[in-house]
């Protein structure tokens, strides 16, 4: 039988050679250029069949090329390519309004509305509220008197410019004081709704800065005679403690978050409408109906993309919509 001799040195050399081939392949793969994009997005073109149409008619935009992704800014308000990063409005007067109603009881002068620019924003204790300077603006509004049996009275509108310095936070407080019921009689329940701080803008008219839900009202109770029964829901209800406080007055506040007057309002970016995604078939046209007359700059954004890279082109056409 023939002897088989094993040369360990040759085996070692062979293993080193195979290993070098393996790591060489890995190196080549790692150094490969990035994955190429499918197609050429530059081929994407847009043709408007009819440059002038009537309001309510269908505008037809035809496409050439086959990009992976297509979206459109129609040129209407909130869909303009020029506002894709943010839409800035110039603001004017700041206006405050609300409605009040009362129910039950006989006490008068429970309710007042005040404003402060030096409140420290600490709602945890009435001492912080008392330490601030508050300007009483109640007499600038029309508020409920007597017992309205839940019928709301519109406050009217107050221009807040004299109370709100640009860029400086202010707080608006609704104060409720309940006199000792043994002396002044049963307290009334007060209701506040329709709270709105708004401003007039150069383009979109009135814009709401804060309302019942966004004003951030917080309850601050003096804690006299027991816990008050005021609540914050879709309507603010102002009410003192239960009958245990008949010998002493009570007080609680509803105070907004800091509200700031700005000369400009940023509405955030306009968003395009997606028309085609990467997995969808080629899109040959887009149809859209403009309801309002005007001249519109319509912007299509097309992109080819993969995990390594992307390429985008922007195509614009103008359309005139007649009445």
DSSP assignment of 103-154: ES------EEEEEESS--S--S-HHHHHHS--EE-GGGS----S--TT--EE
pLDDT value of residue 194: 97
Whether the predicted pLDDT of 268 surpasses 70:
yes
If asked whether residues 46 and 135 sit together in one domain, one would say no
Half-sphere CA count of 292, side-chain side, radius 13 A = 7
Q: Check if the beta carbon of residue 232 is closer than 8 Å to that of residue 254.
A: yes
If asked whether residues 294 and 175 sit together in one domain, one would say no
If asked whether residues 289 and 260 sit together in one domain, one would say no
Q: Which of 266, 282, 303 is the last residue of a domain?
A: 266
Number of structural domains the chain divides into: 2
CA 62 to chain centre: 35
Distance between CA atoms of residues 296 and 290, nearest Å: 9
Q: What is the CA radius of gyration of the chain?
A: 34
If asked whether residues 128 and 143 sit together in one domain, one would say yes
Q: Which of 229, 247, 266 is the last residue of a domain?
A: 266
pLDDT value of residue 322: 96
Per DSSP, what are the bridge partners of residue 3?
none
pLDDT cut 90: percent of the chain above it: 64
If asked whether residues 160 and 209 sit together in one domain, one would say yes
CA 90 to chain centre: 18
pLDDT value of residue 80: 96
108-141 exposure pattern, b = at least 16 Cβ within 10 A, e = fewer: eebbbbbbbbebeeebeebeebeebebeebeeeb
pLDDT value of residue 19: 44
pLDDT value of residue 195: 98
| pLDDT grade for 291, boundaries at 50, 70 and 90 | very high
pLDDT digits (tens, 9 = 90+) for 134-178: 999 999 999 999 899 999 999 999 999 999 999 999 999 999 998
* Better pLDDT: 2 or 52: 52
Please report, in angstroms and rounded to a whole number, the separation of the first and last CA atoms in the chain. Answer: 106
Q: Check if the beta carbon of residue 306 is closer than 8 Å to that of residue 38.
A: yes
- Average the pLDDT over 60-74 and give the result: 96
pLDDT value of residue 35: 61
33 assigned to some structural domain: no
Q: Which of 248, 266, 284 is the last residue of a domain?
A: 266
* Better pLDDT: 7 or 91: 91
* Better pLDDT: 32 or 67: 67
Three-class SS of residue 296?
Answer: strand
Q: Check if the beta carbon of residue 239 is closer than 8 Å to that of residue 228.
A: yes
- Average the pLDDT over 118-122 and give the result: 97
21 assigned to some structural domain: no
Distance between CA atoms of residues 316 and 106, nearest Å: 68
Q: Check if the beta carbon of residue 201 is closer than 8 Å to that of residue 90.
A: yes
Closest C-alpha among 242, 247, 139, 152 to residue 191: 152
Among 104-108, 179-183, 275-279, 282-286, the minimum mean pLDDT is found in: 179-183
Distance between CA atoms of residues 280 and 295, nearest Å: 31
pLDDT cut 70: percent of the chain above it: 87
Distance between CA atoms of residues 264 and 258, nearest Å: 17
What contacts 315, CB < 8 A, 6 or more positions away? 44, 45, 46, 299, 300, 302
| pLDDT grade for 182, boundaries at 50, 70 and 90 | confident
148 assigned to some structural domain: yes
18 assigned to some structural domain: no
Domain span including residue 225: 88-266
If asked whether residues 126 and 71 sit together in one domain, one would say no
If asked whether residues 298 and 155 sit together in one domain, one would say no
* Better pLDDT: 193 or 200: 193
23 assigned to some structural domain: no
If asked whether residues 272 and 155 sit together in one domain, one would say no
pLDDT value of residue 129: 97
Q: Check if the beta carbon of residue 43 is closer than 8 Å to that of residue 64.
A: yes
């Amino acid at each position: 039988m023939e002897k088989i001799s094993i040369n360990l040195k040759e085996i070692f050399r062979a293993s080193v050679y195979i290993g070098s081939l393996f790591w060489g392949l890995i190196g080549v793969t790692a150094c490969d250029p990035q994955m190429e994009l499918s197609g050429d997005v530059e081929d994407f073109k847009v043709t408007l069949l009819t440059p002038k149409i009537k309001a309510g008619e269908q505008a037809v935009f035809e496409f050439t090329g086959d990009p992976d992704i297509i979206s459109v800014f129609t040129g209407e308000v909130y869909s303009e390519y020029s506002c894709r990063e943010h839409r800035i409005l110039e603001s004017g007067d700041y206006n405050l309004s609300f409605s009040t109603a009362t129910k039950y009881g006989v006490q008068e002068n429970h309710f007042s509305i005040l404003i402060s620019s030096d409140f420290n924003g600490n709602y945890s204790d009435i001492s912080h509220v008392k330490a601030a300077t508050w300007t009483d603006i109640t007499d600038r509004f029309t508020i409920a008197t007597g017992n309205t049996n839940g019928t709301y009275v519109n406050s009217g509108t107050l221009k807040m410019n004299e109370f709100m310095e640009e860029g400086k936070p202010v707080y608006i407080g609704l104060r409720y004081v309940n006199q000792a019921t043994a002396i002044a009689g049963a307290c009334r329940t007060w209701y506040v709704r329709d709270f709105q701080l708004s401003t007039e803008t150069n383009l979109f008219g009135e814009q709401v800065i804060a309302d019942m839900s966004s004003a951030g009202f917080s309850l601050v109770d003096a804690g006299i005679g027991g816990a008050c029964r005021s609540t914050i829901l879709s309507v603010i209800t102002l009410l003192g403690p239960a009958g245990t406080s008949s010998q002493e007055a009570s007080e609680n506040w509803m105070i907004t978050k800091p509200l700031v007057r700005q000369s400009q309002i940023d509405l955030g970016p306009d968003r395009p409408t997606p028309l085609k995604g990467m997995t969808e078939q080629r899109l040959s046209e887009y149809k859209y109906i403009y309801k309002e007359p005007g001249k519109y700059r319509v912007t299509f954004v097309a992109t080819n993309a993969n995990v390594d890279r992307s390429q985008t082109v922007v195509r614009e056409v103008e359309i005139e919509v007649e009445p």
